[in-house]
Amino acid sequence: MTAQTILAFDTSAAHCAAALLRGDTVIASDRAEMSRGQAEALVPLLERLMAQAGCGWADLDALGVGIGPGNFTGIRISVALARGLSLGLGVPAIGVSGFAALAEGEAGALLLSLPAPRDGVYLQAMSGGDAQRDPVLASPEAPPTGLAPAGARVIGHAADRIGAALGLPAQPRALDDIAPRIARVAAGRLETPQPRPAPLYIRPADAAPPADPPPAILP
């Protein structure tokens, strides 16, 4: 059986990140830090990445896309592109949250933490790879009690501060490798029917965007 090739990408924060996974191996990855301009930079970055790996759009078997939480505009850029590519290429697009990416490769009960504006954090409890509650926005010094499952470890942004507040073991971690993680999570979901990707928004936007952006068209 030929190994499947998955292109994963994410613009949920101040970056464009992408990775190509073939079978169990990440064959190429790239990440460009940028506070703006992701809409113009994303497709060229993906094309450079595929050229580096010696493959093209027609060689892709699936897409993995980061759905947030994070920057509202950035999330919409990636989700809309993933939908357009999925339609144009006839391949599945699998949405992967930052929480699922952060939990990739971890076992047991977890309280996952991602950075939020104004020194806040987005938190989600997971156990056995499944979300236990809806994610919340909180202060790392005053996270909600009762959110973490029994025996949980805190993993992610400001984990040491959250762990100290809740009396839980902590493992600070930055998601510098978010695209390879998204690719591996997406690979694990290929055999299960998935809804089309949709942005994961946790806090209200200053100008609330539609919850379900239209698909982009493949350039």
Report residue 108 as tokens: 């047991």
Q: What is the pLDDT of residues 107-147, one digit of tens each?
A: 999 999 999 999 999 999 998 878 888 999 999 999 999 89
CB 187 within 8 A of CB 84: no
pTM for this predicted structure:
0.91
CB 67 within 8 A of CB 198: yes
How many percent of the chain have pLDDT more than 70?
Answer: 92
Q: What is the pLDDT of residues 32-87, one digit of tens each?
A: 999 999 999 999 999 999 999 999 999 999 999 999 999 999 999 999 999 999 99
